[in-house]
């Protein structure tokens, strides 16, 4: 619990502080670097605290498999553009295994899928974006499990949030600085994708969240973990 | 003290009443090669897993397992190696070299030592060429060899193998078993091997442990076990030579391989050649259901041809089996015939109409059905019942009707008590029966079966043969591609071999197996000199009995 | 095997991080151009004809799009060409667009080369030292990718003959794929538990662990790293002194041509073309050697 508080403090206070610092004190320095540093900063506390904790090997393998599932989903559903189960799988991992697992599944999904779709500086940012979606989903896991409507709403919100976060990166990457007009133009041009992200999250959560919960429960009784 | 002593071991799984293991006592000598046999569900997997602490199942345990003084207390992971059926779940890394190094890394050995040991082990197992390959790129046989190599590399005192060859074809399986025997011989590592395909492995072992219903019913040399168990229900799964020995009156020591079987034949027949007339089958003029003509197929534009001008006709009620080595294109042929892959030349007609003229949905309703190599892929739901209902609903059945119809179908196939089980929890034989139940709900005219006996024990195999005969009597045509020669001999009306993209020597099983030297049954090999034309133990015994009766 | 890829992962990572960072960081047309040309040359040695053509089809329209849209969102600059809705469409903005397009293409191409050279096993090797558990998860995930692909294909084939995907419409396809995906999830979870048990059975987590690798740090790596460190420091110093500065707005500043800048250009050019030279040298040497076989 204490560790979770520390991660939360870093995410909620540390990152905005760095951004503020960057904007005022070091205003000449490039925003791309800031974004990358901020992303890396949001990854570090989770990864470090995760490495220090005790885990069963089965837990680690399960997270690995959930990660692969989200990436394979991206390939399987390539018929419909932007209709991907990645965020949904991240939310599901968080729902049943908690914020840490959600974070890892999210961050590693980004990393793994970029082994196939191309790595680059954006990987760090994408890892942070999906990781945080997983982390916050884990914090409200109880609500997600008890209320279906809440779960679907959250899925839609996560889809929109992910799309808007990635637009921030694209805008900063393009200009090396924050230009509102550029960001707005990206937001508009990717609106179709944003809607699809939200929609696919809702659909996948609707179809998969419960069955996967059942499967995990079954595995728990069968193997006693 | 022995390497391992098991005293009065009993085990019960959670939420079940009956004992999976019931009072097992056993002593394992150092350097022995033990064969553990018994039907699926007899408890051999449970016993093996209990001997490996990290893989021990959860449940109520009574009795004692005492390890010899060379083991740590409890035994360290690297002291006992284990290889199981499914190569995919036991390989844990993505590169061959890493898989080999994994156990050594966990022991904390220095880099230089790991480098040498992985190198020499790869050499010993013939994996040098694959050292830098991804594990996913290996064939099934290579994966099992890699698992074995990765278990041996840590210098274990005991190797446990749970049906390691059940997913392999016979030739690859032999390579694996011979490597295993060599390890036992060269390094003196004690081996306990659980198997249900006993034909070749029986004579390799120095001790056979037989289990039935959770009890150890025999523990002795292979020959002595044959003598002791000749009336047990396990015996039909024993090597052909031993079964022939019993059919001829069980005199003297039991033979356990083809060489000894031939000696037995010489003894029984002397220098005489007995006449054997294969059963005459009436020529059927049943109408052709599935007819393919001049099929050419390749996977990629500039790839090699897998099928070359292949033609095949399947008649109503006919059971047709196709044999052939690994990678010869048997699965591909089935997929082409099932309409899953399109040949670039040639025609396939179902009931006189070309496949392409059918709408996809219509093709698989009252038409074609394909049982894939891995029956797990047939199931989508978490119970068999839901799965059976699901396919009926997909076909447009109402929900209430679907449940009822599913229950009826299950009753017909004798799987009613499996309806509420999860498909993943079923044994190989049970899973296959349920998969067939699901396929039959599409009322197929033609059943295409891909390696249907893979992983089945002798008992389930015989049940499956009689199921196929029933289906054929109903007028359905069955086409099975298989490695399993004994199965093909028992079930087929027609047998053929697929080689280099063509079907060779299609004919009745007697005509087919009589002509072959390698692709033939063990019984035919023993019978060749004295009862030419016979392909099963029953036929040989019958011919000999007739000859004796005549002589008297 | 690619010659440059044979270097130790640490050397490679330092190189790629340096190239990516300088490509984004040095806002100077000469270095940007060198970086772009170097990355193009490198990628040419890594790709076959078809892939080159595909890349061309991707990068040309992308660059054109950036060049044309920049003046639409940025109205700085002294030389208006025409007005759209009262906003100036300036020459400087076009130039800046060209610069951004070049820079983005360079970053994308360096990333592409990185993806090709810095394969997952190299990544795991480095990662595994710093974050062993996370690396373990990643290696399991990587291992499952081909397994799941194959299983998904088998499931799809099996289910096609059982009435799914029967019409070929998008809706049918989607329903079928969702069902197959759910079955794949069940299969994977089931397998995962078994894999985890096998890892434990083979001693994972039993104590101190060696991280074995087939990579070796050679003398060449030391030389390369020393060169990178020296070149990187010099470039950073030059950048910090502001000599490489180039501004686009309101009007382009003169291109820095003082001795420090020129030597920085030369240094950066050398870095950018290093992989290309290594590859070419290796293939020439190999041709010579082969002629002797």
A82-127 pLDDT, tens per residue? 788 999 999 999 999 999 999 999 999 999 998 888 788 888 888 9
Higher pLDDT, C240 or C270: C270
B532 DSSP assignment = T
Rounded-to-integer distance, Cα A124 and Cα A35, Å? 9
Are C35 and C90 contained in the same domain? yes
Rounded-to-integer distance, Cα B89 and Cα B92, Å? 7
Residues in C touching B443 (Cβ below 8 Å): none
Verify whether the Cβ–Cβ distance B88 to C147 is below 8 Å: yes
Give the list of residues 6+ apart from residue C122 with CB closer than 8 angstroms, or none. C9, C12, C215
Verify whether the Cβ–Cβ distance B382 to A211 is below 8 Å: yes
User: Residue B30: its pLDDT value, please?
Assistant: 94
Verify whether the Cβ–Cβ distance A223 to B58 is below 8 Å: yes
Residues in B touching A222 (Cβ below 8 Å): 425
Q: What is the secondary structure of C97-142 as a DSSP string?
A: HHHHHHHHHHHHHHHHHHHHHS-HHHHHHHHHHH-HHHHHHHHHHH
- DSSP, collapsed to helix, strand or coil, labels residue B12 as strand
User: Residue A26: its pLDDT value, please?
Assistant: 47
Are C109 and C142 contained in the same domain? no
Give the list of residues 6+ apart from residue B493 with CB closer than 8 angstroms, or none. B281, B318, B319, B320, B472, B508, B509
Rounded-to-integer distance, Cα A218 and Cα B14, Å? 13
Domain holding A95, by residue range, is 2-223
* Count of CA atoms in the C-beta half-sphere (13 A) of B322: 26
Residue C86 lies in a domain: yes
Residues in C touching A37 (Cβ below 8 Å): none
The rounded Cα C159 to chain-centroid distance in angstroms is: 38
Tell whether the model's pLDDT for residue C1 goes beyond 50: no
User: Residue C31: its pLDDT value, please?
Assistant: 92
Domain boundary among C164, C181, C201: C201
Query: Residue range C277-287: average pLDDT?
Result: 87
Q: Do domains B28-57+68-232 and B288-367+443-503 have the same CATH topology?
A: yes
**Which class is domain B28-57+68-232?**
alpha beta
Positions of E strands within B147-277: 158-162, 190-195, 207-212, 215-220
Q: What is the secondary structure of B467-530 as a DSSP string?
A: HHHHHHHTT-EEEEEES-HHHHHHH-SEEEEEETTEEEEEE-HHHHHHH-SSSS-HHHHHHTTT
Residue C96 contacts residue C248 (beta carbons within 8 Å): yes
B58 vs A: CB within 8 A: yes
Verify whether the Cβ–Cβ distance C162 to B364 is below 8 Å: yes
User: Residue B83: its pLDDT value, please?
Assistant: 95
User: Residue B308: its pLDDT value, please?
Assistant: 94
Tell whether the model's pLDDT for residue B298 goes beyond 90: yes
Residues in C touching B92 (Cβ below 8 Å): 140, 143, 195, 198-199, 202
Are C91 and C146 contained in the same domain? no
* Count of CA atoms in the C-beta half-sphere (13 A) of B280: 2
Chain C nearest CA to B103, separation (Å): 6
Rounded-to-integer distance, Cα C170 and Cα A122, Å? 32
The neighbours of chain C, by the rule of 3 or more Cβ pairs under 8 Å, are: A, B
Domain tally, chain A: 1
- DSSP, collapsed to helix, strand or coil, labels residue B314 as strand
Residue C207 lies in a domain: no
Residues linked to residue B190 through DSSP beta bridges, in sequence order: B158
User: Residue A171: its pLDDT value, please?
Assistant: 78
Cα angle, residue B366 at apex, residues B320 and B455 outer, rounded to 5°? 45
Verify whether the Cβ–Cβ distance A68 to C144 is below 8 Å: yes
B70 vs A: CB within 8 A: no
Verify whether the Cβ–Cβ distance B114 to C210 is below 8 Å: yes
Are C233 and C150 contained in the same domain? no
Mean pLDDT of chain B: 91
Residues in A touching B382 (Cβ below 8 Å): 211, 214-215, 218
User: Residue A10: its pLDDT value, please?
Assistant: 63
Query: E strand or H helix at A200, and its extent?
Result: helix A191-223
Residue C208 lies in a domain: no
- DSSP, collapsed to helix, strand or coil, labels residue C185 as helix
User: Residue B136: its pLDDT value, please?
Assistant: 87
Cα angle, residue B444 at apex, residues B439 and B450 outer, rounded to 5°? 60
User: Residue C274: its pLDDT value, please?
Assistant: 93
Residue B202 contacts residue B257 (beta carbons within 8 Å): yes
User: Residue B386: its pLDDT value, please?
Assistant: 92
**Based on the number of CB atoms within 10 Å of its own CB, is C210 exposed (0-12), middle (13-18) or buried (19 or more)?**
middle
Tell whether the model's pLDDT for residue B529 goes beyond 90: no
Are C63 and C108 contained in the same domain? yes
Residues in A touching C24 (Cβ below 8 Å): 30, 32-33, 121, 176
What percent of chain B lies above the pLDDT cut of 90?
62
Residues in C touching A62 (Cβ below 8 Å): 189, 192-193, 196
Domain holding C69, by residue range, is 4-122+213-292
Verify whether the Cβ–Cβ distance A57 to C196 is below 8 Å: yes
Verify whether the Cβ–Cβ distance B97 to C187 is below 8 Å: no
Q: What is the secondary structure of B66-132 as a DSSP string?
A: EE-TTS-SSPPGGGEEEE-S-HHHH--SSBHHHHHHHHHHHHT--HHHHHHHHHHHHHHTT-GGGTT
Chain B nearest CA to A161, separation (Å): 33
Verify whether the Cβ–Cβ distance C143 to B380 is below 8 Å: no
Give the mutation candidate from A55, A56, A65, A82 for the C interface (greatest C CB count, under 10 A).
Answer: A65
pLDDT digits (tens, 9 = 90+) for A168-207: 888 777 766 667 777 888 888 888 889 989 999 999 999 9
**Structure tokens, B378:** 């047939």
Residues in A touching C185 (Cβ below 8 Å): 69, 208, 211-212, 215
CATH classification at residue A123: 1.10.1760.20
Residues in C touching B395 (Cβ below 8 Å): 163
Tell whether the model's pLDDT for residue A13 goes beyond 80: no
Q: How many CB pairs under 8 A join A and C?
A: 170
Domain boundary among C155, C171, C201: C201
Query: Residue range B314-327: average pLDDT?
Result: 91
Verify whether the Cβ–Cβ distance A214 to B422 is below 8 Å: no
Q: Which CATH architecture has domain B288-367+443-503?
A: 3-Layer(aba) Sandwich (3.40)
A42 sits in the region (left: phi over 0; alpha: psi -120 to 50; else beta) called alpha
Verify whether the Cβ–Cβ distance A174 to C66 is below 8 Å: yes
Rounded-to-integer distance, Cα B219 and Cα B225, Å? 7
Query: Given B14, B58, B422, which is nearest A218 (Cβ)?
Result: B422
User: Residue A46: its pLDDT value, please?
Assistant: 86
Tell whether the model's pLDDT for residue A29 goes beyond 60: no
Verify whether the Cβ–Cβ distance C173 to A79 is below 8 Å: yes
Pairing of strands B368-371, B446-450: parallel
Q: Which of B102, B100, B160, B104 is nearest to B128 (CA)?
A: B100
Domain tally, chain C: 2
* Residue of chain A whose Cα is closest to the Cα of B55: A223
Mean pLDDT of chain C: 87
Rounded-to-integer distance, Cα A58 and Cα B215, Å? 32
Length of chain A in terms of residues written: 225
Q: What is the secondary structure of B117-167 as a DSSP string?
A: HHHHHHHHTT-GGGTTSBGGGS-HHHHHHHHHHHHHTT--SEEEEESTTTT
Query: Residue range B143-160: average pLDDT?
Result: 96
Query: Given B54, B94, B339, which is nearest C139 (Cβ)?
Result: B94
pLDDT digits (tens, 9 = 90+) for B241-268: 999 999 998 888 999 999 999 999 998 8
For the whole prediction, is pTM greater than 0.90? Answer: no
Of the ranges A197-211, B272-286, C276-290, which one carries the lowest mean pLDDT score?
Answer: B272-286
Residues in C touching B391 (Cβ below 8 Å): 162-163
Verify whether the Cβ–Cβ distance C185 to A175 is below 8 Å: no
**Structure tokens, C242:** 């502001």
Query: Residue range A123-147: average pLDDT?
Result: 92
Verify whether the Cβ–Cβ distance A224 to B382 is below 8 Å: no
Chain C nearest CA to A17, separation (Å): 23
How many CB atoms are closer than 10 A to CB A177?
Answer: 12
Phi–psi pair at B479, nearest 5 degrees: -120, 115
Residues in B touching C201 (Cβ below 8 Å): 52, 54-55, 77, 82
User: Residue A11: its pLDDT value, please?
Assistant: 63
Chain C nearest CA to B437, separation (Å): 12
Length of chain C in terms of residues written: 293
Residues in A touching B425 (Cβ below 8 Å): 222
Query: Given A214, A222, A223, which is nearest B382 (Cβ)?
Result: A214
Rounded-to-integer distance, Cα A156 and Cα A177, Å? 29
Verify whether the Cβ–Cβ distance C111 to A174 is below 8 Å: no
- What does the domain layout of chain B look like in residue ranges? 28-57+68-232, 239-281+508-552, 288-367+443-503, 382-438
Verify whether the Cβ–Cβ distance A62 to C115 is below 8 Å: no
Residue C28 lies in a domain: yes
Residues in C touching A216 (Cβ below 8 Å): 189
Rounded-to-integer distance, Cα B417 and Cα B421, Å? 8
Verify whether the Cβ–Cβ distance C138 to A64 is below 8 Å: yes
**Structure tokens, C155:** 């499931």
A224 sits in the region (left: phi over 0; alpha: psi -120 to 50; else beta) called left
Are C51 and C174 contained in the same domain? no
The neighbours of chain A, by the rule of 3 or more Cβ pairs under 8 Å, are: B, C
Rounded-to-integer distance, Cα B469 and Cα B297, Å? 31
* Residue of chain C whose Cα is closest to the Cα of B379: C183
Q: How confident is the model at residue A16 (pLDDT cuts 50, 70, 90)?
A: low
């Amino acid at each position: 619990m204490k560790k979770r508080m520390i991660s939360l403090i870093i995410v909620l206070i540390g990152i905005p502080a760095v951004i503020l610092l960057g904007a005022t004190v070091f205003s000449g320095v490039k925003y791309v670097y800031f974004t990358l540093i901020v992303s890396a900063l949001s990854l570090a506390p989770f990864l470090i605290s995760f490495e220090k904790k005790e885990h069963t090997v089965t837990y680690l393998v399960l997270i690995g498999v959930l990660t692969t599932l989200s990436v394979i989903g991206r390939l399987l559903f390539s018929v419909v553009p932007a209709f991907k189960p990645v965020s949904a799988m991240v939310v599901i991992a968080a729902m049943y295994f908690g914020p840490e697992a959600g974070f890892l599944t999210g961050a590693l999904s980004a990393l793994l899928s970029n082994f196939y779709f191309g790595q680059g500086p954006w990987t760090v940012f994408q890892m942070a974006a999906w990781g945080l979606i997983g982390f916050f989903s884990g914090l409200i896991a109880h609500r997600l499990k008890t209320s279906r409507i809440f779960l679907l709403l959250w899925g839609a919100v996560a889809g929109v949030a992910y799309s808007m976060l990635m637009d921030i990166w694209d805008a900063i990457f393009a200009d090396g600085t924050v230009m509102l007009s550029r960001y707005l133009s990206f937001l508009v041009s990717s609106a179709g994708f944003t809607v699809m992200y939200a929609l696919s999250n809702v659909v996948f959560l609707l179809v998969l969240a419960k069955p996967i919960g059942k499967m995990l429960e079954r595995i728990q009784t069968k193997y006693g973990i | 003290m022995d390497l391992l002593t098991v005293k009065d071991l009993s085990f019960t799984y959670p939420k079940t009443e009956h004992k999976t293991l019931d009072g097992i006592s056993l002593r394992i000598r150092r350097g022995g090669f033990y064969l553990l046999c018994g039907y699926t569900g007899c408890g051999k997997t449970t016993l093996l897993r209990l001997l490996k602490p990290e893989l021990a199942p959860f449940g109520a345990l009574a009795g004692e397992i005492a390890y010899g003084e060379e083991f740590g207390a409890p035994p360290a992971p690297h002291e006992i190696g284990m290889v199981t059926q499914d190569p995919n779940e036991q390989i844990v890394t993505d590169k061959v070299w890493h898989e080999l190094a994994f156990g050594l890394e966990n022991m904390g050995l220095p880099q230089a030592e790991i480098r040498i040991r992985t190198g020499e082990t790869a050499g010993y197992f013939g994996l040098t060429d694959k050292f830098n390959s991804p594990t996913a790129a290996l064939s099934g046989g290579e994966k099992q060899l890699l698992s074995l190599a990765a278990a041996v590399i840590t210098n274990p005192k005991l190797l446990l193998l749970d049906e390691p060859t059940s997913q392999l074809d016979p030739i690859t399986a032999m390579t694996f078993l011979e490597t295993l025997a060599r390890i036992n011989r060269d390094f003196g590592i004690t081996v306990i091997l659980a198997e249900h395909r006993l034909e070749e492995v029986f004579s390799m072992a120095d001790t056979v442990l037989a289990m039935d219903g959770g009890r150890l019913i025999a523990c002795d040399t292979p020959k002595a076990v044959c003598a002791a168990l000749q009336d047990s229900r396990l015996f039909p799964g024993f090597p052909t030579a031993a079964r022939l020995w019993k059919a001829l009156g069980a005199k003297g020591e039991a033979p356990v391989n083809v060489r000894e079987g031939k000696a037995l034949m010489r003894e029984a027949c002397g220098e005489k050649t007995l006449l054997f007339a294969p059963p005459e089958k009436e020529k059927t003029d049943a109408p052709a259901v599935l007819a393919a003509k001049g099929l050419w197929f390749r996977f990629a534009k500039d790839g090699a041809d897998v099928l070359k001008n292949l033609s095949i006709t399947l008649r109503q009620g006919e059971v047709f089996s196709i044999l052939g080595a690994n990678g010869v294109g048997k699965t591909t042929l089935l997929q082409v015939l099932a309409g899953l892959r399109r040949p670039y030349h040639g025609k396939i007609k179902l009931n006189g109409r070309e496949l392409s003229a059918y709408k996809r949905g219509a093709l698989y309703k009252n038409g074609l059905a394909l049982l894939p190599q891995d029956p797990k892929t047939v199931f989508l739901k978490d119970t068999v019942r839901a799965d059976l209902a699901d396919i009926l609903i997909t076909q447009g059945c109402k929900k209430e009707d679907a449940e009822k119809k599913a229950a009826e179908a299950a009753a017909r196939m004798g799987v009613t008590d499996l309806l509420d089980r999860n498909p993943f929890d079923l044994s190989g034989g049970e899973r296959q029966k349920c998969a067939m139940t699901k396929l039959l709900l599409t009322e197929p005219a033609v059943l295409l079966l891909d390696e249907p006996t893979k992983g089945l024990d002798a008992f389930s195999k015989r049940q499956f043969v009689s199921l196929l005969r029933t289906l054929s009597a109903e007028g359905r045509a069955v086409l099975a591609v298989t490695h399993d020669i004994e199965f093909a001999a028992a079930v087929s009306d027609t047998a053929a071999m697929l080689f280099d993209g063509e079907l060779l020597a299609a004919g009745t099983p007697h005509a087919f197996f009589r002509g072959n030297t390698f692709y033939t049954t063990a019984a035919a090999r023993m019978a060749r000199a004295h009862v030419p034309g016979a392909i099963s133990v029953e036929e040989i015994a019958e011919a000999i009995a007739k000859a004796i009766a005549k002589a008297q | 095997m690619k010659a440059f890829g044979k270097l130790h992962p640490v050397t490679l990572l330092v190189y790629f991080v340096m190239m990516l960072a300088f490509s984004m960081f040095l806002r100077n047309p000469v270095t940007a151009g060198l970086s772009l040309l170097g990355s193009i040359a490198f990628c040419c040695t890594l790709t076959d004809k078809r892939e080159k053509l595909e890349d061309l089809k991707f990068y040309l329209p992308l660059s054109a799009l950036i060049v044309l849209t920049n003046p639409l969102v940025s109205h700085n600059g002294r030389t208006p060409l025409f007005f759209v809705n009262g906003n100036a469409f300036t020459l400087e903005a076009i130039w800046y667009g060209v610069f951004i397009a070049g820079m983005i293409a360079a970053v994308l191409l360096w990333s592409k080369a990185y993806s090709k050279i810095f394969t997952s096993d190299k990544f795991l090797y480095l990662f595994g030292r710093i974050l062993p558990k996370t690396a373990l998860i990643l290696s399991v995930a990587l291992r499952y990718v081909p397994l799941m692909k194959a299983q998904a294909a088998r499931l799809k084939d099996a289910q096609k003959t059982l009435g799914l995907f029967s019409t070929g419409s998008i809706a049918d396809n989607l329903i079928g794929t969702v069902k197959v995906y759910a079955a794949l999830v069940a299969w994977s979870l089931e397998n995962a538990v078994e894999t985890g048990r096998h890892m434990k059975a083979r001693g994972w987590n039993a104590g101190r662990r060696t991280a074995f690798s087939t990579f070796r740090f050679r003398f060449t790596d030391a030389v390369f790293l020393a060169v990178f460190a020296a070149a990187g420091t010099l470039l950073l110093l030059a950048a910090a002194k502001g000599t490489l500065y180039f501004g686009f707005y309101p009007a382009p500043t003169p291109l820095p041509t003082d001795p420090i800048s020129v030597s920085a250009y030369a240094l950066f050019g050398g870095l950018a073309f290093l992989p290309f030279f290594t590859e070419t040298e290796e293939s020439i040497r190999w041709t010579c050697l082969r002629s002797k076989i």
